[in-house]
Amino acid sequence: MKLMKVAVYYNNKDVRVEKRPIPEIGDRELLVKVRACGICGSDVMEWYRVKKAPRVLGHEMTGEIVETGKEIKEFKVGDRVFVSHHVPCNKCKYCLEGNHTLCKTLHSTNYDPGGFSEYVRIPEINVEIGTFLLPDEISYEEGVFIEPLACVVRGFRIAEVKPNDTIAVVGSGMTGLLQIKLARAWGAKKIVAIDVNDFKLKKAKECGADLAIHAEDDVEKSIREINDGYLADKVILSAGVPSAFNTALKCVNPGGTLLLFAPLDPKHNIPVNIFDIWNRQIRIVSTYAGAPRDIRESIEILKNREIEVRDLITHRFKLDDIQKGFDLVSSGEESIKVVIEP
């Protein structure tokens, strides 16, 4: 029995490198050697993750196919791939309406065991719907941005982001910075970044923000000063804390849209002035994950260099040092994208 290393999550401060058998694959499955896997902000959302621990996390994964099931025709050994962990059924009510990320299948699918391992088994449905050839123009480590960028692309579509919109992004973590880069690539009129971390605000300016504001400053006044007296057409909540929600709501111009991108701990209930929302005719929408359409668009964006992502990688670690990566991401201080390279 051949063994491999896996990183097992118990909590943010306890991620253990253990040995497990390399998975055996079925006739319609793939075995992929993991080349790179990003640590997502959701991986360190302890209120969400710890209830399912212990488990092997990691869903921003690229790798190389090292074994194919005997019925596999569309892929071959040696192919470079990105694999989506969550895939829709494409048959249910939600999928047929274009709401793929509400699909029950999407919420139940995954690969085995997870991207923070040396090898993963790709189940048949993930092979059919969630496995994409990685273009030569995209390196393995650039490919870890495919999944988070797909989430951003979907969010932009749901919020109906248009060229010449003024965009405010509340939270300048990795996804917030991707949103800034994509907004710039899509022709935003003005882009405002809001955060409490000076390191991330500096990074936001480097990524294309016209204005980077500390959340404790007068954000409404600052936005109006650079935007002809108006607030933002589209505001994206990319920080999962109640104070960030309140800040985001203040930044929406009458008739504008607030996109709830980052989730808040379910225990938080926030009082909202419904009259104010009604009176300003604000639209509030939410987004979760990405579907195959979003992934394909994300791959094309990266392939065509519409945005650059290599500058977002601040740290790289081997699997044996994954705890250092989790410490960096969970601290929320001076890191953006941490990549694990088994």
Q: Are residues 139 and 179 in the same domain?
A: no
Joined together, the tokens standing for residue 307 give 């945005």
In the numeric block, which tokens belong to residue 108? 């139940």
Domain count, the chain: 2
Q: Note the pLDDT of residue 114.
A: 96
Confirm whether 183 is domain-assigned.
yes
Q: What is the DSSP letter of 44?
A: G
pLDDT of residue 159: 98
Same domain, 74 and 192: no
Report pLDDT for 191.
98
d(C-alpha 328, C-alpha 189), whole Å: 34
Q: What is the pLDDT of residue 47?
A: 84
Q: Are residues 139 and 161 in the same domain?
A: no
Q: What is the CATH number of the domain that holds 314?
A: 3.90.180.10
Q: Helix, strand, or coil here: 84?
A: coil
Tell whether 133 and 93 lie within a shared domain.
yes
Same domain, 174 and 273: yes
pLDDT (tens place) for every residue of the chain, 342 residues total = 899 999 999 999 999 999 999 999 999 999 999 999 999 999 998 888 988 899 999 999 999 999 999 999 999 999 999 999 999 999 999 999 999 999 999 999 999 999 999 999 999 999 999 999 999 999 999 999 999 999 999 999 999 999 999 999 999 999 999 999 999 999 999 999 999 999 999 999 999 999 999 999 999 999 999 999 999 999 999 999 999 999 999 999 999 999 999 999 898 899 999 999 999 999 999 999 999 999 999 999 999 999 999 999 999 999 999 999 999 999 888 899 999 999
Tell me, yes or no, whether 8 lies in a domain.
yes
Strand order through the sheet with 3-11: 14-21, 3-11, 55-56
288 vs 297: CA distance, rounded Å: 16
230: domain CATH number is 3.40.50.720
Q: Name the DSSP letter for residue 145.
A: T
The pLDDT assigned to 60 comes to 97
Full DSSP string of 157-177: HHHT--TT-EEEEE--SHHHH
| Residue at 131 is within a domain | yes
Please report whether residue 314 resides in a domain. yes
Both 275 and 315 in one domain: the answer is no
| Full DSSP string of 208-260 | T-SEEEETTS-HHHHHHHHTTT--EEEEEE-S-SHHHHHHHHHTEEEEEEEEE
Chain-centroid distance, C-alpha 320? 24
Residues 137, 265, single domain; the answer is: no
Q: How far is CA 257 from CA 32, 68, 162, 164, 176, in A?
A: 41, 46, 12, 14, 17
CB 339 within 8 A of CB 313: yes
Q: Residues 209-241: pLDDT tens digits? A: 999 999 999 999 999 999 999 999 999 999 999
Domain holding 275, by residue range, is: 152-286
pTM over 0.85, yes/no: yes
- On whether the CB atoms of residues 144 and 339 are closer than 8 A, the answer is yes
Does residue 17 fall inside a structural domain? yes
Q: Helix, strand, coil % (nearest 5) of the chain?
A: 35, 25, 35
- Within-domain flag for 295: no
Residues 156, 139 share a domain: no
Task: Please report, for residues 74, 80, 83, 123, 189, the alpha-carbon distance to residue 128 in angstroms, rounded to integers and kept in the order given.
Answer: 9, 16, 10, 9, 40
Tokens representing residue 126 in the block: 């993930």
